[in-house]
Structure 1
């Protein structure tokens, strides 16, 4: 978080509405150029990817990341991000985080095998 804040990346705090927060945000994905999706079980933190410095027992965490090249799949992930982000920081009521999220049916992508 500190690295993102120093870089001026906007953040949404799910406690900004005065609540204790939902604690339900667990998405782990990144979309690059609206064409590549990076997702998996790994948290995007140095300790999750490499282990904690000086703590050998945390090295080799069993996590994975996948890099998927698909504009259609990227579109699905971008739509989910935009739904969560709403109008961004300072306009919390439009962000669909935690309990505020309306139930939606799962998105579908059509996969085409390319040679």
Structure 2
């Protein structure tokens, strides 16, 4: 009988030791994963770029409609601020949140519609006054099926920013208009600094909720 209890004790002791070992290894594995995630975040390429406008007039056709090569038009195909802006936008894979006072540029609206057609979740917040002016592209975006919300105040919704895939921020003085792109002195900061991106994400979500059409009172 004593031998039986001794064997039983040894068996359960072995099982408990195995469970403890598995628990320790699992804990170490989780800690290692957390360390790797923190390392990868730090290792992620830091993006900090500033674009100045007015931009040179360049052809954006290859970026929007042609996989490679030039379109053959007589416009310059050299690098420019507007080309770099469009390339950043075309890098979007999952979501694009736009909060824009004025949006009248055809090439930028074509870029946004193209992203929507690719399956990117596009949301737009606009100013109620300027979205109704002649030349505004908000109607085109809505017709394409892109959700747009706007303020209901006499004060301007004067923001000018975009967030790509919730990780890259584009913000500055630049309205998305042809005049701003090609004539005005403007600036655009592009960064993936999480400390800067998050407040803009929070602001977008706050306005998106505030401008819910079910809450309009006119």
Superposition TM-score tier, normalisation by shorter sequence: 0.5 to 0.7
Unaligned runs of 5+ in 2: 1-137
Unaligned runs of 5+ in 1: 16-20, 51-58, 94-115
Task: Determine whether 1:75 maps to 2:198.
Answer: yes
TM-score normalised per structure 2: 0.33
Distance of 2:144 and 2:155 partners within structure 1: 25
Of 163, 175, 180, the match for 1:43:
175
- RMSD of aligned alpha carbons: 2.0
Of 119, 141, 146, the match for 1:9:
146
Number of residues of Structure 1 aligned to a counterpart in Structure 2 = 79
- The structure with the largest helix share of the pair is 2
Q: CA deviation at 1:46?
A: 2.7
Larger Rg: 2
TM-score normalised per structure 1: 0.58
Distance of 2:150 and 2:200 partners within structure 1: 20
- In structure 1, the residue corresponding to 2:155 is in which secondary structure? coil
- The structure with the largest strand share of the pair is 2
More contact order relative to length (CA 8 Å, sep ≥ 6): 1
Alignment of 1:28-107 (within 5 A): 28-50=160-182, 59=183, 61-86=184-209, 89-92=212-215
- In structure 1, the residue corresponding to 2:142 is in which secondary structure? helix
Which ranges of 4 or more aligned residues in structure 1 deviate by more than 6 Å? Answer: none
